Each structure stands twice: as structure tokens, then as C-alpha cells.
């Protein structure tokens, strides 16, 4: 551990709170779960109980290297968020803006091919089999509002 404590770290374009323990600090990066964060720290040889502010520059660089190419360091494919990618056919892991962009592209592709999930996304409905009879009523007229409008028109 270095003697200097940093309150804010910059890892892969994300500001991270230095007071958090290392796995919880890595979770602040979009696309990294707690399990993946623990696996990254184990591969980097970093104690997961250390606070993120005490990480040295070399440890941060090692973490970034593992995050950028997790399969190269032997992380299992079930930890990755993009298995058998449509474009490359490989198991890859996306983070931050790349993850958001690819998710939007996937939804647009589903809409174009008019799959069931694409249809549900296009019409703003639930796409994963949830009930819709009582929940998911946002954006529609509610009974109370109608009564208020009728009451105002009647006066």
C-alpha cells in the first residue's frame, strides 16, 4: 500500500470514491458487477479489503488492463456481459459508454426485425414477461384525473 490516500480515483474514465473498499469502488464502473470486481482484484493480486484510495498507480493500471481484456487473463466467460457477440462471435465484456451504445443498437435491431421483444420495446410495454394488468400504467390517463376534468366541465 502507498502512504498517500486519494479521495477520488480515475479508472477507465470513471471517477471512483476512494473511501470505498476496492470491489465496491469497481462496481461504480458501469458494466462491472461485484463478482467480476472480486475476480479482477484476485487476478491483479490485490487485497479486496483495501480501500480504493490506497491503491497505487501500478495497481490501478493492472486493474484497467484486466478490465479491458478479461479473457486474456483467464476470467471465465460466464462473468462477461457479452457472450458470443453477433458481430465477432467472441466472448467480450463491455463497459461504460460502449455497453449503453451496444444495448441501444440491440434494441433497434430487435425493432427492425420486428421480433416480439422489439415490438414490446417500440410500444413502451414490458418486454420480459412481467404482468401488465395492474402495473406499468405510466403515461396513460388515470381515473382520478378524468373525474377532475368532468367536475370542472360541469361547473
Q: What is the CATH number of the domain that holds 144?
A: 4.10.910.10
The 10s digit of each residue's pLDDT in 99-118 is: 999 999 999 999 999 999 99
Alpha-carbon Rg for the chain, nearest whole angstrom, is: 23
121 and 60 in a common domain: no
145 secondary structure, DSSP code: H
> Do 23 and 72 belong to one domain?
yes
| CATH code of residue 13 | 1.10.8.50
Q: Are residues 72 and 24 in the same domain?
A: yes
Residue 85 domain-assigned? no
In the predicted structure, residue 1 carries a pLDDT above the cut 50: no
Residue 152: pLDDT band (50, 70, 90) is confident
Select from 79, 107, 138 the last residue of a domain: 79
| Position with higher pLDDT, 32 vs 155 | 32
Full residue range of the structural domain in which residue 42 is found:
8-79
Is the confidence at residue 143, as pLDDT, over 70?
no
Are 110 and 57 contained in the same domain? Answer: no
pLDDT in tens, 35-91: 999 999 999 999 999 999 999 999 999 999 999 999 999 999 999 988 888 888 888
Q: Which phi and psi (to 5°) does residue 11 adopt?
A: -125, 120
For the chain, percent of residues with pLDDT exceeding 70: 92
Asked if residues 52 and 17 have their Cβ atoms less than 8 Å apart, the reply is yes
Judge if 53 and 24 occupy the same domain: yes
- Grid cell of 104 as nine digits: 441501444
In the chain, how many domains are there? 2
Amino acid at each position: 500500500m502507498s502512504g498517500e490516500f486519494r479521495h477520488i480515483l480515475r479508472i477507465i474514465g470513471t471517477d471512483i470514491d476512494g473511501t470505498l473498499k476496492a470491489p465496491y469502488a469497481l462496481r461504480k464502473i458501469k458494466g462491472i458487477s461485484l463478482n467480476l470486481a472480486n475476480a479482477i482484484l484476485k487476478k491483479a493480486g490485490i487485497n479486496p479489503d483495501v480501500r480504493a484510495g490506497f491503491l497505487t498507480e501500478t495497481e490501478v493500471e493492472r486493474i484497467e488492463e484486466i478490465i479491458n481484456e478479461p479473457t486474456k487473463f483467464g476470467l471465465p466467460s460466464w462473468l462477461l456481459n457479452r457472450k458470443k457477440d453477433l458481430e465477432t462471435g467472441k466472448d467480450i465484456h463491455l463497459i461504460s459508454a460502449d455497453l449503453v451504445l451496444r444495448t441501444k443498437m440491440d434494441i433497434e435491431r430487435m425493432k427492425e426485425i420486428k421480433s416480439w421483444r422489439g415490438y414490446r420495446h417500440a410500444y413502451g410495454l414490458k418486454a420480459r414477461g412481467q404482468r401488465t394488468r395492474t402495473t406499468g400504467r405510466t403515461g396513460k390517463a388515470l381515473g382520478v384525473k378524468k373525474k377532475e376534468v368532468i367536475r370542472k366541465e360541469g361547473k
